[in-house]
Chain A
């Protein structure tokens, strides 16, 4: 099957590249081996939360220039970041996603599922963060947990809000629908709760909330378990201001971002090979000429350009062997410390060198194999070497910005 560009990986990086290319009129295919880490996203995107000394970034332009040479942002060039960041946000908005806390280009504080204020670049509309809180009419909040729901921590969130100067109480709500769901306690997950709190289930939920005697001058803080298409009904029955806080594990904001991007790509005519694992690649004179998957028998997927966005260890874009870090899909070169002993430092909370390992690329993100750049194969997102995305809180930014940089250069060359 022939395409203009084939993207391996349907996470944030792969979908961003695919959408951008499809918007330019290209025929694209995305190959996706299982769901991506985007499902765990809590509705906030980080671009660069912490600098090289692990301090919260206040001056982002300065922090960007301080990054080491092999960091993906350094390859883009600090000067190119702001326009790509704007482009990324515009792309998400074209997918129908709205962000409240993004009026200026600097970081804002959002609240993590464990109740910690963390720096963020974008936060989905309706979620609790610095500016949505400030917009509320009250200086008082009530965090409401759901009985038996273990992926949400009302007390931690309340403690943080108190530190930030809010008066805050904690409540627990229960409904017959939640009670029924608790028959399988392991299945008390945001996604299953969301499907229970629909229609009458949602109305019953609103009614139970009203019975809790929550002070009328408090903003409700609820776990993110209500479908955004149901919010109108919920508002009608609840009739008071509320914000959502993220939950642990697979989260509704993460799913809604994923779904919005998938819908956008389908609308643009992009094709998704769901559940296909790339298991072979043919090279000719430093060019990739086709890939095979475990589902296509004798068929090959062929394109002019390929983008490798297979993700990091979770998604098996990278694998740790006993004594080496490898890229198992296309056999690409990997930048990683040689000796296993050099992967880690004894300080558990310190920077771990293994976290920066990833696929080696040239200055244009062309992936290297046997020391040579493959001329039509680009690597983007968390499979790239050079960023410690968890520590820097840069995962979403690296994913989207490298994807856009590569998509733009493919568009320019055609």
Chain B
């Protein structure tokens, strides 16, 4: 019996009963038959690969790492982890220049924000897109997210940092690359929202990219280095009195909670539950009666909520939904939980573009049917994909909560005087 308890297989793969439920949930297999599917690529193939790595198949690169197979699995097999780990272990080719550039979100972001207007203009010009398509294999249909001239961190240091000390309660914000380089408005909304309920926001001593793009593009050493920096900073922030480390990106949050231990082998059990999404943290505080949100009476919106894959995997969807539903003037339609198809850098690659769009098709159709004022979602790459493919504007729930918030009334409700 002891033997059975101690012999836990990697990513739980021996628990697989071959029921094929995972194959039903895979967004890729019906679109791209070259992909052997989660069961075959995952637990089935793993048995063979343990004996002989020759059984590895390069076609595993078509896996989106959406983890929807893991959510569907009744036996708790970490199918997505098995496939991703196999790719990292057995792929022979080195990551290409294009993949490295797509994965280096911090380096590219830092460079691009220095001369954002020029970069934005250049990246949107069709001859440039044509060249990138032909020479690098970055699909020319894609729109690059616009870079900001003032990084979120710069804004925070200039305009927000000093005001945070007045609050006794503190959280640390993991803003992620997107908020920092492309969309500081979301970070400003987060700070505004927390300040309105009497909680100060601080930044980590050092924040690096969560590493999701590097992991996906097999830059394991680089991802591990970033992850170690983040974990050290998070531990320090918690030791210094932050109640939690909150993120606004479901994928950043998921990567730090689950991919760090499962894929990179970095232990985070001591702090994992303190790394969370702002929507989860806020829900918890509201539930406990610690804080109150008061919303504007004139806010009226029809919103469609899209569940990002990693949000589904974390099981945090109910938090976003219940917070949005709590806004009196919001009519919320929860879309069927389907992958949007972009899967981070996956959809940017020329070879994946048609698959990516075909996967998203049911979601795009449903959004068109629902015809919302805008779409809400917790993931920035889902935002790019949906905005590009449907023309509908997409916002993060934190942004929506803040724009619907009656800041003055909220401050009064939380006993803040000035």
Cα A213 to Cα B108 with chains together (Å): 62
In the complex, whether B284 has a CB less than 8 A from a CB of chain A is yes
In the complex, whether A33 has a CB less than 8 A from a CB of chain B is yes
Q: Are A299 and B287 in contact (CB under 8 A)?
A: yes
- With A34-B72, A277-B76: A183-B34 Cβ-Cβ less than 8 Å: yes
- With A249-B20, A322-B1: A275-B33 Cβ-Cβ less than 8 Å: no
Which residues of chain B have C-beta atoms less than 8 A from A191's C-beta?
23-24, 30
Contact with B along A265-279 (1 / 0, CB 8 A): 010000101111100
Which residues of chain B have C-beta atoms less than 8 A from A180's C-beta?
33
In the complex, whether B153 has a CB less than 8 A from a CB of chain A is no
Cα A186 to Cα B312 with chains together (Å): 26
Q: Are A187 and B36 in contact (CB under 8 A)?
A: yes
Cα A294 to Cα B317 with chains together (Å): 14
Q: Are B29 and A299 in contact (CB under 8 A)?
A: no
Q: Are B40 and A297 in contact (CB under 8 A)?
A: no
- With A191-B23, A273-B318, A314-B19: A34-B33 Cβ-Cβ less than 8 Å: no
In the complex, whether B337 has a CB less than 8 A from a CB of chain A is yes
State which of B29, B70, B74, B283 has its C-beta within 8 Å of the C-beta of A184. Answer: B29
Contact with B along A350-392 (1 / 0, CB 8 A): 0000000000000000000000000000000000000000000
Cα A189 to Cα B38 with chains together (Å): 13
Nearest B residue to A277, CB-CB: B76
Q: Are B312 and A266 in contact (CB under 8 A)?
A: no
Which residues of chain A have C-beta atoms less than 8 A from B17's C-beta?
314
Contact with B along A172-196 (1 / 0, CB 8 A): 0000000011111011010110111
Cα A181 to Cα B29 with chains together (Å): 9
Q: Are A181 and B315 in contact (CB under 8 A)?
A: no
Which residues of chain A from 301 to 358 have any CB-CB distance to chain B below 8 Å in the complex?
A: 314-316, 322
Q: Are B24 and A250 in contact (CB under 8 A)?
A: yes
State which of A35, A293, A316, A322 has its C-beta within 8 Å of the C-beta of B21. Answer: A35
In the complex, whether B334 has a CB less than 8 A from a CB of chain A is yes
In the complex, whether A164 has a CB less than 8 A from a CB of chain B is no
In the complex, whether A214 has a CB less than 8 A from a CB of chain B is no
Cα A249 to Cα B334 with chains together (Å): 29
Cα A181 to Cα B312 with chains together (Å): 28
Q: Are A189 and B20 in contact (CB under 8 A)?
A: yes
Q: Are B74 and A186 in contact (CB under 8 A)?
A: no
In the complex, whether B116 has a CB less than 8 A from a CB of chain A is no
Which residues of chain A from 229 to 250 have any CB-CB distance to chain B below 8 Å in the complex?
A: 249-250
In the complex, whether A281 has a CB less than 8 A from a CB of chain B is no
Cα A222 to Cα B30 with chains together (Å): 20
- With A35-B21, A186-B40, A296-B315: A271-B321 Cβ-Cβ less than 8 Å: yes
Which residues of chain A have C-beta atoms less than 8 A from B34's C-beta?
183-184
State which of A194, A195, A249, A293 has its C-beta within 8 Å of the C-beta of B315. Answer: A293
Candidate in B1, B19, B31, B273 with the most chain A CB atoms within 10 angstroms: B19
In the complex, whether B37 has a CB less than 8 A from a CB of chain A is yes
Nearest B residue to A37, CB-CB: B74
Q: Are A192 and B23 in contact (CB under 8 A)?
A: yes
In the complex, whether B377 has a CB less than 8 A from a CB of chain A is no
In the complex, whether B316 has a CB less than 8 A from a CB of chain A is yes
Nearest B residue to A297, CB-CB: B273
Which residues of chain A have C-beta atoms less than 8 A from B20's C-beta?
189, 249-250
Nearest A residue to B38, CB-CB: A187
Nearest B residue to A196, CB-CB: B30
In the complex, whether A255 has a CB less than 8 A from a CB of chain B is yes
Q: Are A184 and B37 in contact (CB under 8 A)?
A: yes
Cα A196 to Cα B31 with chains together (Å): 8
Which residues of chain A have C-beta atoms less than 8 A from B24's C-beta?
35, 39, 189, 191, 250, 255
Contact with A along B20-46 (1 / 0, CB 8 A): 110111000111011111011000100
Which residues of chain A have C-beta atoms less than 8 A from B71's C-beta?
34, 274-275
In the complex, whether A36 has a CB less than 8 A from a CB of chain B is yes
Q: Are A250 and B21 in contact (CB under 8 A)?
A: yes
In the complex, whether A53 has a CB less than 8 A from a CB of chain B is no
Min distance, Cβ A201 to any Cβ of chain B, angstroms = 10
Nearest B residue to A251, CB-CB: B24
Candidate in B33, B70, B313, B334 with the most chain A CB atoms within 10 angstroms: B33
In the complex, whether B314 has a CB less than 8 A from a CB of chain A is yes
In the complex, whether A134 has a CB less than 8 A from a CB of chain B is no
Cα A297 to Cα B281 with chains together (Å): 10
In the complex, whether B189 has a CB less than 8 A from a CB of chain A is no
Which residues of chain A have C-beta atoms less than 8 A from B73's C-beta?
34-35
Cα A267 to Cα B277 with chains together (Å): 27
Cα A296 to Cα B74 with chains together (Å): 18
Q: Are B21 and A275 in contact (CB under 8 A)?
A: no
Min distance, Cβ B69 to any Cβ of chain A, angstroms = 10
In the complex, whether B276 has a CB less than 8 A from a CB of chain A is yes
Contact with A along B46-63 (1 / 0, CB 8 A): 000000000000000000
Which residues of chain A have C-beta atoms less than 8 A from B23's C-beta?
187, 189, 191-192, 250
In the complex, whether B75 has a CB less than 8 A from a CB of chain A is yes
State which of A192, A195, A271, A274 has its C-beta within 8 Å of the C-beta of B312. Answer: A274
Q: Are A314 and B74 in contact (CB under 8 A)?
A: yes
Which residues of chain A have C-beta atoms less than 8 A from B76's C-beta?
33-34, 277
Which residues of chain A have C-beta atoms less than 8 A from B75's C-beta?
34, 316
Cα A192 to Cα B316 with chains together (Å): 28
Cα A250 to Cα B73 with chains together (Å): 13
Cα A255 to Cα B20 with chains together (Å): 13
State which of A192, A266, A294 has its C-beta within 8 Å of the C-beta of B30. Answer: A192
Query: What are 16 A-B interface contacts by the 8 Å CB criterion?
Result: A33-B76, A34-B76, A35-B21, A35-B25, A35-B72, A183-B33, A184-B37, A187-B40, A189-B20, A192-B30, A250-B21, A250-B23, A266-B334, A293-B315, A295-B316, A296-B315
Residues of chain B touching chain A, judged by Cβ–Cβ distance below 8 Å, are 1, 17, 19-21, 23-25, 29-31, 33-37, 39-40, 44, 70-76, 273, 276, 280, 283-284, 287, 312-318, 321-322, 334, 337
5 tightest Cβ-Cβ pairs between the two chains A and B: A295-B315, A195-B30, A34-B74, A275-B71, A297-B273
Besides the known contacts A35-B74, A299-B284, 8 further A-B residue pairs in the complex with CB atoms under 8 A apart:
A33-B76, A187-B40, A189-B23, A192-B29, A192-B30, A271-B318, A274-B317, A316-B74
